[in-house]
Structure 1
C-alpha cells in the first residue's frame, strides 16, 4: 500500500509510525523545509497516553516534558485568585500530566519515522484527484492508494478534495497569539492567566530551558483578514494598550520573538472525513479549538485507529468508514467546548471576571468538581481495538 500524508506535525508522523510497521510504503510531504521547532505546549490525555505507550515513546516524551505545577488565574498585581494543581483531576485538568512543546513532540515523532518513511520537506500537494493522483509544487505527479490530509485547520488537502475552507471552519468569536519570552522571571512552574475587561486574556506558561510562552487572546466578531506580521502585532498592541500585569513586557518582547503566531480561534467540522481515496486526520477533519483542549490527543488516537483499520480492511474505502465509526463519538465529545465557550474564557466586564475567579475557586468542590470531571474525562471516551491480528503491533 502506497500512502501519501500531507503534514509533518503530530497527526501525520503518528500515522506514518504505525503504517510503516504494518508494511505500507509511506511518504510525508511537509511544506516547511525542516521539522518546525518551538510552538505552544500541547498535552497528551486519556487514551492517547496508551497510544504513546504502545509506540514505545513514553520515555522520549518524558525527557522533553514541561514541568508545570498547575494553572492559576491571577489579578493585575500577579496574586493568584484561583488555582488548579496539575494533579487535581488525576492529571487531566487544565494542565495535564503530560505537557510538552509541540515542536518537541513533532521532533520525537520525526525521529521515530525518519529511517523508514520518505520525508519530503519544502513541498506540498497542488492538485489531487479522488482516486489518489497527486501533483506536487516541485513538479512531480504520482499515484497513491491512500492520501491523508493531516495538515491542520487550514488543510490544503481538504481544500483540494472536499471544498473551500469556509465550508468547514467555524469562527468562535476570538483571535489569539503566542510567542516565546526569553526572560520571563520566576514562574515557579505555574501556568498563569490574566483577564481584563473587554474580553482580553493574557497568559504565560513555563518551557524547558528557562523560556516561557506568552499568549494574548481577545474576543471579536470582526471578519478575519490575514494581514502581515507587522499588522498583526499592531492589532495586538492596540487591543492590549494600557493593560496591566505582565502584558507591557509581552508587547515589548513580541517583535523579537522567533516564533510569533497569530490566528483566529476556530473549530473544524467535516461530516464525512473521506472522499474516494482521500481521508482527513486530526485538525484537518476535527478540531475543537484550544478551548476544547483535546487536539493532540485526538490526533494520536485517530492515527492509531486509521492505521489499524487500513491494515485490517479489504479496501481503503472500508477502512475509512470503520475509522469514522470508531472515532465518531470520541470526536464529538472531544470537540465540545467547555461551558460558556469563548464568553467564559474571555469575560467582557469586571463583574464577570470576578465571577469567573469565584467559579474557578470552586473547581475542587462539589458540585462544580463533578461537572468538571465530566469535561476532563472525555479524553478516555474511546476503547482502543487491538489490531495485532492485522499486522499492527499492539
Structure 2
C-alpha cells in the first residue's frame, strides 16, 4: 500500500487525501495550523468540481450552506448605489471557504491520519521514497509527498526552489477580515472605489458574519508573508488616510480581527507540477489568483485527477505526467482572467465611470439602487 504525505489541510489537500484513501492508499495529512483554518472568503464550485463533490456525498450540505449572494453593488461616497451586477450563474454554487473545509474534513478524517500543528522541515529523496523530517522533531518515510500548502508552498520551495520566478505578480494586493454584521446590504457584495483602490463588504444570505474586502494597486512589495503585523501596516498605509464612505470603519475592524488575511494577487506558473517523488496540487501548483474565482474549482478537480492517476498507474512518474496532461488545459483557461481586476479596481475616476457606463450598456449592470 502506497504511503503518501499530503502537506496542507485546505481544499486541495483534503480532497486529495479523501480520494487517495478511497483508492486504497494510505494518506497522512500534515497542517501547520493547530486546527482547521475555517476562515476565508466565498469560493465557487462549478462544472466538474460539483461532480466530484457529488461523488464525495457533500453536495446536499454544500447547497444548504451556499452563500446565497445575489450580486455586486457599486456605491459612491454617500453609499448610494450607482450600479449593480447580477452574479447568479446556473450550475455554480458559492460557499464560504471555511464551510467547505469543514465539510471536507468530516468525510476525510475517518480514513486519513491528520497531523495538526506541525509541518515539513526537510525532505530527502532516494530511489525508494522520501524521508521527511517534521518540525516537531519526528522523522518518517513516505513513497510520495504532495504539496497542497498554498501560494507560498514550503514543499514547492524545497523541491523546486525559491518562489521568485514561479509566481507572477498581478499588480494588486488584497486583504479580507470579519466586519460588523450590521453593515452592508444582505445578500450583496458592496464595493466602493477610489482610483486604484477598492473597499467592500460581503453579506451572505446564510451567514450572520459580514466580511470586509480591500484591494489596492501596487508594484511588488517586500514583506514577510508570515508576518501578520507587517501586513496590517501595509494595509493601513494603503487605506489609512481614506475617510470616505465606510473605509475607516472597515479598516479599523479588519486590523483588529485575529483572522485578518493579506496577500498579493499572484498566479503560480510552473513548467511542471512534479519533480521526482514530489508533486504539487491546488494553489501551490497553479494558483489562478482570487480574481479568477476558480481557486476551489481547480483545487477540487486537480486533486481528484491526481488521485485517479496515482490509482491507475504503477509508476508515479506516469501518474504525475498524466495528471498534468489532464489538468493543464483547464488551468491555462482559468488563469486567463480577462478584465476582472480592472473592472473591480479601475485605475482612475475616468476608468470608474467607463466601467459603469460600458457594463450598463452591455446589460451587465443596472443603474441605481
Fold agreement, TM-score > 0.5: yes
Partner of 2:359 in structure 1?
Answer: 360
Equivalent residues of 2:147, 2:280 under 8 A apart: yes
Question: For 1:128, what is the secondary structure of its paired residue?
Answer: strand
Distance 1:294 1:222 in 2: 23
Q: Indicate whether 1:256 and 2:251 are aligned.
A: no
Partner of 1:225 in structure 2?
Answer: 223
Count the aligned residue pairs: 358
Q: Which moved more, 1:216-225 or 1:309-318?
A: 216-225
Partner of 2:183 in structure 1?
Answer: 185
Equivalent residues of 2:174, 2:262 under 8 A apart: yes
Q: Indicate whether 1:205 and 2:211 are aligned.
A: no
Q: 1:151 aligns with which of 132, 149, 152?
A: 149
Equivalent residues of 2:183, 2:210 under 8 A apart: no
Q: Which moved more, 1:219-228 or 1:108-117?
A: 219-228
Equivalent residues of 1:151, 1:284 under 8 A apart: yes
Shift of 1:336: 1.4
Distance 1:264 1:83 in 2: 27
Q: Which moved more, 1:283-292 or 1:37-46?
A: 37-46
Shift of 1:79: 2.6
Q: In the TM superposition, what are the counterparts of 1:100-111 in structure 2 within 5 Å?
A: 100-111=95-106
Q: 1:125 aligns with which of 105, 115, 120?
A: 120
Partner of 2:214 in structure 1?
Answer: 216
Shift of 1:229: 3.6
Shift of 1:337: 2.1
Equivalent residues of 1:67, 1:206 under 8 A apart: no
Q: Deviations over 1:309-342 (max 9, x none)?
A: 1111121111000000001111100111223x64
Distance 2:358 2:308 in 1: 42
Equivalent residues of 2:184, 2:190 under 8 A apart: no
Shift of 1:222: 4.5
Distance 1:139 1:203 in 2: 43
Distance 2:287 2:109 in 1: 27
Distance 1:41 1:304 in 2: 21
Q: Deviations over 1:45-99 (max 9, x none)?
A: 2221111111111012123221211222222222333322233x435xxxxx411
Moved over 6 A (4+): none
Partner of 1:116 in structure 2?
Answer: 111
Distance 2:337 2:79 in 1: 28
Question: For 1:285, what is the secondary structure of its paired residue?
Answer: helix
Change (3 A) 1:229 1:162: closer
Equivalent residues of 2:184, 2:202 under 8 A apart: no
Distance 1:121 1:172 in 2: 32
Distance 2:21 2:183 in 1: 44
Equivalent residues of 1:16, 1:113 under 8 A apart: yes
Q: 1:172 aligns with which of 170, 173, 176?
A: 170
Partner of 2:30 in structure 1?
Answer: 29
Shift of 1:232: 3.1
Distance 2:85 2:232 in 1: 31
Change (3 A) 1:190 1:48: same
Change (3 A) 1:157 1:229: closer
Distance 2:255 2:160 in 1: 37
Partner of 2:238 in structure 1?
Answer: 239
Partner of 1:98 in structure 2?
Answer: 93
Which consecutive residues of structure 2, in runs of 5 or more, have no partner in the other structure?
A: none
Partner of 1:351 in structure 2?
Answer: 350
CA RMSD between the two structures: 1.9
Equivalent residues of 2:118, 2:134 under 8 A apart: yes
Distance 2:228 2:181 in 1: 22
Distance 1:156 1:60 in 2: 32
Distance 2:82 2:108 in 1: 44
